[in-house]
Structure 1
Amino acid sequence: MSELDTKHRNALPAGEFAFSRQRKLPLEDASHVRNAVARFNQVGEVSDDERDHAWSRIQSAARKFGVAISEKSWRELGKG
């Protein structure tokens, strides 16, 4: 995964993050998408609605970068 330095991360628009309001889990390449899936449940203090929106952004980014995600919902993470 390409590491984002603070300057680059701060320059990303909010829509480039799974959790845009919190600016958590950037989705700028395939590696970041895989990382976002792996760390999804580590993001705290967000509502289920925010998780639904974040998961939708992750799925969209996964399609864009050719990343296979077997889970259909964030609720399936860690269950199999």
Structure 2
Amino acid sequence: MEGDIAQMGQFIGAGLASVGMGGAAIGVGNVVGNFLSGALRNPSAAAGQTATMFIGIAFAEALGIFSFLVALLLMFAV
């Protein structure tokens, strides 16, 4: 009985950690949406800002990957 409760806690924790992956998706959408909004206002400056957009996407995705890693650790760690 105790093992079942511990396993249930692991799965609940992994599910809560997975919420961070949704947050990363929202963050990437926000970064790209704001870039496109600025690029449509000033197309001549858009070419110089694409590297900054990709850096922002990479940071947002890194948080999602860390969240995924924590979820896996909670599920399969002993």
Range class of TM-score, shorter chain: 0.3 to 0.5
More helix by percentage:
2
More strand by percentage:
1
TM-score by length of 2: 0.35
TM-score by length of 1: 0.34
